[in-house]
Amino acid sequence: MKKEQMDIIETADAVEGSWVYRNAPTFLRPYLKLARMDRPVGTWLLLWPCWWSLALSGNGVIKNDPITFLYYLSIFALGALAMRGAGCTYNDIIDKDFDAQVERTKSRPIPAGEVSIKQAWVFLGFQCLIGLAVLLQLGVFAIFVGLGSLLLVAAYPFMKRITYWPQAWLGLTFNWGALVGWATIEGSLSASPLVLYVGCVFWTLGYDTIYAHQDKEDDALVGVKSTALALGSNTKPWLLVFYSIFTISIFLSGSLANMGLIYYISALIAGLHLVWQASRVDINSPDDCLKIFRSNIGFGWIIFIGIIADQVIF
């Protein structure tokens, strides 16, 4: 790396005091930025549907074989980390010209000149190999289900060029783990994971619309489309619609998986949290949008702990 690149620029929405800038070796920092290691919320958002589905699938594994369950939680966590990084790297390669024109994204490694396009492609391949190694730890059926997401992933960066609803495509892509998690435990798919998957698409529509409001002015100038621009001042009512569909789906998915009272209590609390998000967010404040967006990490824990508690007690 060139000497002038040794002072790594901190990305605009990185977690304050991130270990990437404090502890990581300097030569690795541009790549860790490229993989969004300084902003872990995206990894959590990719991971939650996987973990929810693994826990919902049950099949007695949580109580009867907790070591296996913990193993699957661990490898899905590794897979989410690698594939979120790979997706972001790919997205940054495709969007390099747009990113250079948007205030929040011009500090990303490629437009900032910290990583070349060739280096980014090599790093993308490395992350994909990790993701493949994780996928191969699953059963044959789960492997084929996982491979089904590749076309969605490949097409995603281009959606913002052709539709005002790229957040819907992201929802289809980002929540595929809801199918893979269930398939890993059960070796098949049923109505419960399918309903969970559809619900999670609307969850993503909600939180990523909030996220997109950070860039709406720049996006309008450079020609990038988003639900933030499409919905505008009507965003809050639409957030309630998206989150209501998700909450109904969570209840229905749990019912199809024969969950008990604790699960429904946690689902209700989660639904109230989403109402808080939709009513609390100031769509004209980038800082507030980022804060509400990040709150989905805690939101995911509400559902996950509810599933685990219900599976263990009942």
pLDDT in tens, 115-138: 999 999 999 999 999 999 999 999
Question: What pLDDT is recorded for position 100?
Answer: 86
| Sign of the CA dihedral with 201 first, then 202, 205, and 210 last | negative
Residues 6+ apart with CB under 8 A from 263: 254, 306, 307, 309, 310
Question: What pLDDT is recorded for position 10?
Answer: 81
pLDDT category at 221 given cuts 50, 70, 90 is confident
- Per-residue pLDDT tens digits for 244-257: 999 999 999 999 99
Question: What pLDDT is recorded for position 6?
Answer: 46
- Per-residue pLDDT tens digits for 293-308: 999 999 999 999 999 9
Determine the Cα–Cα distance for residues 193 and 97; give it in Å rounded to an integer: 38
* Domains in the chain: ranges and CATH: 27-313 (1.10.357.140)
Q: Which two tokens stand for residue 263?
A: 């699960």
Least confident of 97-106, 111-120, 193-202, 286-295: 97-106
Q: Average pLDDT in the 284-298 region?
A: 95
- Per-residue pLDDT tens digits for 162-184: 999 999 999 999 999 999 999 99
Question: What pLDDT is recorded for position 50?
Answer: 97
- Per-residue pLDDT tens digits for 28-76: 999 999 999 999 999 999 999 999 999 998 766 788 888 999 999 999 9
